[in-house]
Structure 1
């Protein structure tokens, strides 16, 4: 045996076999590739393109921080965390809701409210729905769609953030991207100001408390010192100190009067009028104008038309007097405030002289200790108050000068090319996927679904030493197509049968008696009868004494193929109703080829598997071996009926016919396994691929079963 005769193991990987599968199944691959590419092109034309506009934002922490401790905030890890936080804020629901409101996306055809089919049906049926729930669901849907359209990502480890918006309208995409950045930066500044003002509001009560504490300590210190000074002046006979004390008391009295006058004038400026008990504090001019105003007011409160007075003119005059009164009160108040300032300085100088004189004298140690304690507490309270007040002023200044930490480094421009769908990528993926799907379908069709399309495939499928093809036969009219064996000996069909004869000789072992060649198939209509007749004629023409026997007892057809009358002689002989001598009724001899033929016909009263497994059949085959060099037996298909499996133990070679691209590979493999299960060791199965197409009248299992026992 040559290398090609060695059976191949299932675990071997053969690249040539792989390529052979692709070559045999190229139609499946081409159709898969074409179909998927066409679907991809249809999708590209049908889908609505979308455009993505991107704005670039630079996050610069510590911008606008008016603090002396900026350097302490320049920690790279902290800044990086802050940038990540800003990225999350940019995609937050609050910012997206602000974008929806600012851009009026609720009424936008792409992002806005859409009425669901269920809502349309319920509205058509007149069924009321929960509008509150629908409104909430609509907002959620809009927020989801906008969120899907917005993409925010940090560019590497830099402080740059890409803000992208995808929309069906390229101009709309750029507009929304820039608007989103604007809303984000504005809200960032507002949040900063809000935080600063919140800190200021927290600080304000502490300042009020510090101010009250400072005033209390100062009052307590002043009162204590005044008592000490008063005792010191009373007990001393110094005329200068008595004069200073009187000057201080006079200034204090004048200050009280000016303060009362300033309060009264302030009430007039603020439009609260003149109090009855404050008339002695005001100048004659102010009192005169106040009197005029009161008179005009009384006239307006009565019916002016009854007195023939124009109410509009009266109101105009009242407004004029009111303005003059406020202006004069404001001037007098400014003069009072100036006097208060001067008298305050006089009083403070007098007080300072008295304090210095008292402190320079020999005061009791208890008084000095108390005074210095009160003075120290007052100084400390003043420092605290001034610090809090300075911090308050800083917060107010910060609130006025805050700027955003984010700066638009590059605004979004209207994109010219759609970002979706990516035509090149989709076509590339479609081509790759189509090849993958095509190859997968090719292997499925090759090994599971489709029929056999080449002798190599058939050989690998059945793990046989060799497999041969038999070409299709083209004849101008119907008839015995196998007659081409002697009528056209140089045709491709005749040559293929000679190849079958050669391989049959190589695969059978020499022995006593004739060789039995069993022709069968997995299912009907595989061309086994045609191949058996042609093979038998080829053997006969080569000089081999050959007998062709129609052992397909359920559907005998050789008589019909060669144009001879059907006969039940073979059936009767096998069933015991006739002797071997009666076989002459079914025996024919071809003068052209020298072939002897035993045709069949009729139907049996007994099951045919009983006949082929009987002792008479074994004896019959033994006798044929003695009389002929080659016995070609046409048997029934393996899968529909069991008859053939009783004959395989007596075969020297089983020729299994397979129709091109027609028979399911699983059926072919299953039939071969059944045949091999009953063969003797060393006997081979020779698979032959019939290139004839199955006709329209072909039948499968059911046709063969239903034909059991019908007359020929």
Structure 2
């Protein structure tokens, strides 16, 4: 299948240019002559340029800060400098310096202004009234505003990209004047910046002197209040190193902490000795006397046990050893009791020592709290003195800095290029203007030609459909005769010899022959790009034509948005639903397919309008039912909705064997046709071709189809006689009514 041609047809465009060459040449020549005359009539204007470089942080002679803080952002800084260079105050400085008020090259109304000023002055002198003087002042102000406006219009300030350099340019008919204005503007701007810094420093110094005096007075007053309160409260200093109360409290707290720790240690030792005994304590184990007694006790016990092996306890020597053992045991117990008593005495002494220090700490704390009550106000006054002292010192330092920086700053503006005398005029540029005139005139002429040619974006010929968009022509349906317009839906059966009916049968044969090699196409989708192109009428008559040829045909109204075929094939029995009910499963296939009045022709209505037509058509049930119907019918013709704006056609196009597009010359838009072609190509749907409907044989351009219909139907009076073809289309008029 040929693809749609999206490229430009250069031959058609060249044909447009050749046919409208005189229009193009006339527009171009008229524009060229106009630009040439205007260019020669223009006064030569000279432009003088200069360049300034700005440092965002100016060089410092001193380390002190300026009163005027420079901006830190380059873009904002350069925009600020540009606005300052174009300010009215700086412009008036230059005007007064160069006396541009009396320069005829700058003040073009100099003669009229002098005459008006002279009359105003004379009237004021003669009348002696203040109103005349104010009127003269108003005239002067008006002249000043006009001169400032002229200055701004001729001045150009532009920043160079990614630099801190500004380009200054001034335009004037007098080249010397343009140069002098730029150089004077540079000097005046630098001087103005320095004056602004000096003025700001002087004003700041004056204000700071007043602030210094006020700060000094507040400092003296706060110091006097602090001394007076200290004398009354008896406070020498709140520093712990100099204040006796704080020092004593600190020493007592330190000693109390040490004693408390000792008491805890001795208490733990006492508790251990009392609970577990002193025998296993290190102080007892390490005692030399107890060690000797225990060694002696062990020796005596050993001798006593050895003796009992031979003798009885009543033996004299055994009694003597037993007495010595008891004596040593008593001495050990006595020594341990003495150590236990010593541990207890140490613990009790530590407790008394801690209680004594704690009482002293309570007394010292009470004295410190009493001192703190008096010191609160003292600290408030002391902080006020420190604050006033800092403010006073800061102001004094700033005053000294300002005095040191006045006159010592170096300007942050450097002159890169002074203005030179311009030799060649900047405007008008004759060569450029004439070349632009030729180019613009040619573009205007070509635009006018194509505007007239392509103002209407609809398809104009059948060759355009086949050649430009690659869509085969399956058939051409002429406009129906006047007497057949009310019967178009069944015209192929009721009036088989009419031109409309013959064209339908011709299109049917084209469809059969185009798919004969593939065994024929069973499922066909009939659609159009927009409403009102006659797709439903074509689908109905095409189904009747196939049925008349002996095929078993089923027509499905798949336009679930604005169905129409149910009016063409009305039901005589009770309503049994349609395609939408079938797809949602509320009815069966046998219930929705019904016979028509023609043999071999069956019809399935659209049914109720669903809220989601595209989802229903894309369901699995739709494909399953179409496959099932394909085994029963020879042809299935589906009347789908228009393609533009709906996805229904794309869904149906993927389910059928071929798509037939109904187009109308002068009504089908090229863009809609292109989008339709691309959409089908994207889903690999097969486009059999197009049926051109509503061909106006009388008014359309000449060609094979026009000659054919005029000759065949008019000369031979085939079917309808010599009746003149109507000027309006009848095929599709029912859809036009529906669209309206």
With the length of structure 2 as denominator, give the TM-score of the two structures.
0.36
Q: TM-score, normalised to structure 1's length? A: 0.38
